[in-house]
Amino acid sequence: MRTCGTVIVTLLMILTRVQGQVIISEIMYNPPEPGQDTLEYIEVYNPGSTAVNLEGWYFTAGPVFTFPDFVLPPGAFAIVCKNTIYFEQIFGPLPTFQWTSGALSNNGTTITLQNPGGDWVTSVTYASSPPWPGGLANGNGASINLCDPAGPQDDPTNWQTSRTSTGIFHYGQEILANPLDNAQCQFASEFGLVLTGIFDAQPSNVGARGIEIYARKDIPDLSIYGVGSANNGGGSNGVEFGFPAMAVDSGTFL
């Protein structure tokens, strides 16, 4: 009987911890500003069914910050940023906390959150280079968003550059972010075009090279799409080929 009781108690403890789980859901690690990067922030999210009191929870890697007495309701977000005054000047009067010291690395780092008992709650090790989303997120105005809260947080394929337009321009770059809101990730099934083939026949560096593209749906104007490439694991230099202005039917290969 003692063994059964121990098993039941252990299961209850595990279930309680899962229900009270808090995750990191958005990171602005390199905002478009020289110097201090005062617009940096971390968003945390409660995907569970019960409220979580974050009092005493703290970051052990990345910025230095310990939460005050604060209850995070189920389905709610909280922002921890480098400078609350500056953050609210950009995004408006949102409920935010300011970290004590430290910063987010522009090249990538580990952000770890622990509870008052020292138990690991969540962590993310992001980077500014592939396979992590870079480009717009690396000094060009965008944050990165966790797409599936139930998925692995340390999987770079579960993160995308924010696509949410704020209409706010900072040092010549539009801020693309959605603090305290759900991520607006776009998945392959939503794209009009998908890459279906690559051929690179190059004996002695001479031969045919190209790609095959498939239209998943009717596209009235193909010119809204372009093709870019990355060499030797580097990032794309942007659009290198633009399609002509023409209509394409669903099911067409290009």
Pairwise pLDDT comparison (98 vs 136), residue with the higher score: 98
For the chain, what is the mean pLDDT? 80
**Residue that is last in its domain, among 127, 146, 176:** 176
97 in the same domain as 11: yes
Residue that is written with structure tokens 């290969």 in the block: 253
Q: What span, in angstroms and rounded, lies between the C-alpha atoms of 121 and 63?
A: 16
Place 191 in a pLDDT band, splitting at 50, 70 and 90: low
116 in the same domain as 47: yes
194: in domain: yes
- List strands edge to edge, sheet with 58-61: 65-66, 58-61, 108-114, 120-127
127 in the same domain as 84: yes
Residue 205's pLDDT is 61
196 in the same domain as 144: no
168 in the same domain as 193: no
Cis ω before 131 (30° cut-off from 0): yes
127 in the same domain as 95: yes
Pairwise pLDDT comparison (4 vs 130), residue with the higher score: 130
22: in domain: yes
167 in the same domain as 196: no
251: in domain: no
122: in domain: yes
252: in domain: no
**Residue that is last in its domain, among 135, 155, 176:** 176
Residue 119 belongs to domain spanning: 2-176
Question: What pLDDT, in 10s, does the model give residues 19-37?
Answer: 348 999 999 999 988 877 8
208 in the same domain as 168: no
Question: Which segments within the chain are labelled E, that is strand?
Answer: 23-28, 41-45, 52-53, 58-61, 65-66, 71-72, 77-81, 96-98, 108-114, 120-127, 144-146, 159-161, 165-170, 173-176, 193-200, 209-215, 226-227, 241-242
Residue 238's pLDDT is 56
Number of domains in the chain: 2
Range of weakest confidence among 115-129, 173-187, 217-231: 217-231
27: in domain: yes
107 in the same domain as 66: yes
94: in domain: yes
> 101 — phi, psi (to 5°)?
-160, 175
Question: What pLDDT, in 10s, does the model give residues 114-171?
Answer: 999 999 999 999 998 888 887 888 888 889 999 999 888 889 889 988 888 888 888 8
146 in the same domain as 73: yes
113 in the same domain as 29: yes
36 in the same domain as 155: yes
Question: How big is the chain, counted in residues?
Answer: 254
